[in-house]
Amino acid sequence: MGQGVEHTLSAAESLRQAAAARSSAQRRRRLFLLLPAVTIIGIFGLAPLSIALLYSFLEPGTYGGVEWVFSTDAYVQFLFERDIFDDSLIFNSAYLQIFARSFGLALFTMCGTLLLGFPVAYFIAARPPEQRNFWLFAITLPFWTNLLIRTYSMLLIVRDEGFLNLTLMKLGVISEPIEMLYTDGAVLVGLVYSFLPFMILPIYASLEKFDFSLLEAGHDLYASRAQVFRHIVIPISRPGIVGGCALVLIPSLGAYITPELLGGGKKLMIGNLIAMQFGSGRNWPFGSAAALILMALVLVAMMISLRAGAEKESRHG
């Protein structure tokens, strides 16, 4: 009897051990499968970010690069100017203005792509399934060409003797070319053009499965067309709208080529400011600091919008 109990115990023990061994083997395998992804995120995401963080707290080298001396000058420089005579700090809003201008332009770009992109996404989602691929193909077609080339073509279209001005003049609408190139308007048009697909595709994805009989149901229940749109179409496509806005807002904040070419680099944007610090400015720490400040601002903005979205969700239930 006693022996039997011992036997059972040891059997249970060995079962438990086997299970433990199995689960630890499983855990090892899971980690192993995660390894490639973790490695890539580590090398291409975290490492550059850490370098930028490190550099932002060092002093600039005379010919670029950094001096390995701890300093918070880069962050101080963002808001203040050092008086050349007595070394005192004077508030300087030049960089803040660059940030504000970039944010403004990015917000306009977001609104522009949303206003143009939503109807397009809705139109594609309302096509019969066999026609949708054609339209999606048409939307993504410009991506087959380099952004630089597309931006140069835009330049050719909007410049003084470009396609747009020549056509308008031939039609007699204007007698002198309108100066479009190197204006904020040209930059905005360029940004809206390059980021439009990033707005269309997420909204399309959220509307792809949309049941269009819901429109009839809403209309039947005394909602006008505008009310159907507001109470049914918008809430159901909200995830796509939020995703599209984030996908357009964030990269257009750091846009570099478009403001450079279409804006003529006359007014600095964040992207150009940062690029300059690593080039002619030879101030790597300040470039790093500006990049990190931008990132922090985006993160804060996203957290606020996410929280607002979550609250809205819970209120409606």
Partner 1 sequence: MIDARDVTKRFGEGASAVTALERVSLHVPEGSFFTLLGPSGCGKTTLLRLIAGFELPSEGEIALDGEVIGHLPPNKRPVNTVFQNYALFPHMSVARNIGFGLEMLNRPKAEISATVEEMLDLVQLGAFAARRVDQLSGGQQQRVALARALAPRPKVLLLDEPLSALDLKLRKGMQGELKRLQAETGITFVFVTHDQGEALAMSDQIAVMSAGAIQQVGTPEEIYTTPQSRFVADFIGDTNIVPAELLGYEGDKARIRFAGGQAVLANAASATLAPGAVHVAIRPETITVCDAADEAALLHGTVLDSSYFGAGSQMRIRLRGGTEVQAQVAQPSPTGCEVGLIPDTSMLQVLVD
Query: How many residues interact with partner 1 (rule CB under 8 A)?
Result: 19
Q: Are 269 and 294 in contact (CB under 8 A)?
A: no
Task: Please choose, out of 46-54, 109-117, 217-225, 270-278, the segment that lies near partner 1 by the rule CB under 8 A.
Answer: 217-225
170, with CB counted inside 10 A (0-12, 13-18, 19+), is exposed
* DSSP-derived 3-state class of residue 173: coil
Residue 224 touches partner 1, criterion: CB under 8 A: yes
Minimum distance of partner 1 from residue 248's CB (angstroms): 24
The answer for residues whose C-beta is within 8 angstroms of residue 273's C-beta and 6 or more apart is 95, 98, 290
Euclidean distance between CA atoms 60 and 168, whole angstroms: 50
Q: Are 135 and 119 in contact (CB under 8 A)?
A: no
How far, CA to CA in Å, does 240 sit from each of 34, 75, 253, 256?
A: 28, 36, 20, 26
Of 6, 83, 160, 220, the residue at the interface with partner 1 (CB under 8 A) is: 220
Residue 218 touches partner 1, criterion: CB under 8 A: yes
Give the residue carrying structure tokens 């984030």.
246
Of 100, 221, 299, 303, the residue at the interface with partner 1 (CB under 8 A) is: 221
Closest to partner 1 by CB, 197 or 240: 240
Euclidean distance between CA atoms 143 and 115, whole angstroms: 21
* DSSP-derived 3-state class of residue 317: coil
Of 48, 104, 235, 279, the residue at the interface with partner 1 (CB under 8 A) is: 235
Closest to partner 1 by CB, 68 or 222: 222
* DSSP-derived 3-state class of residue 57: coil
Task: Please choose, out of 133-141, 163-171, 229-237, 250-258, the segment that lies near partner 1 by the rule CB under 8 A.
Answer: 229-237
Minimum distance of partner 1 from residue 231's CB (angstroms): 8
Binders of partner 1 in range 257-316 (CB under 8 A): 316
Closest to partner 1 by CB, 218 or 263: 218
Of 67, 83, 179, 216, the residue at the interface with partner 1 (CB under 8 A) is: 216
Nearest to 269 by CA among 141, 134, 98, 114: 98
Of 236, 242, 276, 301, the residue at the interface with partner 1 (CB under 8 A) is: 236
Residue 47 touches partner 1, criterion: CB under 8 A: no
Q: Which residues lie near partner 1 (CB under 8 A)?
A: 211, 213-214, 216-224, 227, 231-232, 235-236, 316-317
